[in-house]
Amino acid sequence: MDGILPLNKDRGMTSHDAVFKCRKIFKTRKVGHSGTLDPNVDGVLPICIGRATKAVNYLMASGKVYKGEIILGFSTETEDLDGEVIAKKAIERPFSQEQIDQAMVQLTGEIIQTPPMYSAVKVDGKRLYEYARAGQSVERPKRKITVDYFKQTKPSTYDVAKKQQTLYFEVGCGKGTYVRTLALDLGEILGVPAVMSDLTRLQSGGFDLKKSVTLEQLTNATPEELETYLYPLEYAFRSYPKVILTEQQWQKVQNGGFLPANIFKDKTSKILLMYGDKARALYYYDDKKDVFRSEQMLDLTQRG
């Protein structure tokens, strides 16, 4: 089987666990996920199966939407509730909704983010979490991320006994964004420690929770039902303009050949090449040679 599976990942399992289980269910080793979800986070995790693994990087680059909760009043070493508490500050007077909104706005657009120590980002060939677990400090690479919006979804609540305030949010963001770090940064703007206390991914790779299926559904499905859960490879490239190839052009593409610039009017575009009702390749415009050339071959197995 080939295709993209919008999985609704359960909490308590890693993204690698989800891939491992899908390999057994779909009886293939050619399975990959399109963006890690931490074990304590649930929600949409697109899984690519068979030839659809060629779409992994493109799905990863797509925008994502999350909903969650942030607690103001303490922070942890992992920036979520899995880690040890490293800072506390009583919230004597809860922040107003306006104060929170203003702080959130400061974390939108193109911003610089420092990934958490407990993350899979590599420094000198090792994951940051490996340094963290070994008690070693290392300089973390700052990265530019894009946050489309960061907003409250309902009024915050205040725990008088604990002197903590809980915020409820939704965020739309680009590739490489650590939402738990956004929570920490929000606290810094407000002048208090903060921690991400709950997170669900609502959308990823053009899929939402309504389109997603659980591992339980997959485990109980017949082979025929499994097929119905898969989206075709071209779903990952649906935003690109399509060009239908002639037989002669298709022969060139099969050999990785260039296509003339006049095949598509917009020379700044990437184009999805179709033949026989299938997505065959993604081409991009090479302004130095004034041709379209291959960026990613997708399906050269049949002539259509």
For residue 144, the cross-strand partners are: 112
Structure tokens at 148: 């489309």
**Is 38 assigned a catalytic role?**
yes
Structure tokens at 289: 């040679």
Q: How far apart are the C-alpha atoms of 24 and 286, rounded to whole Å?
A: 41
Q: What would the DSSP string read from start to end of the chain?
A: --EEEEEEEPTT--HHHHHHHHHHHHT-S-EEESS---TT-EEEEEEEEGGGGGGHHHHHTS-EEEEEEEEESEEETTSBTTSPEEEE---SSPPPHHHHHHHHHTT-EEEEEPPPSSS--EETTEEHHHHHHTT---PPPPEEEEEEEEEEEEEEEEETTTTEEEEEEEEEE-TT--HHHHHHHHHHHHTS-EEEEEEEEEEETTEEGGG-B-HHHHHT--HHHHHHHPBPGGGGGTTSPEEEPPHHHHHHHHTT--EEGGGSS-TT-EEEEEETTEEEEEEEEETTTTEEEEEEE---S---
Q: Is 47:7 a contact under the CB 8 Å cutoff?
A: yes
Q: Which residue is catalytic, options 2, 10, 38, 185? A: 38
Q: How far apart are the C-alpha atoms of 240 and 236, rounded to whole Å?
A: 9
Query: What would you report as the CA-atom Rg of the chain, rounded to the nearest whole angstrom?
Result: 22
Catalytically active residues, by annotation: 38
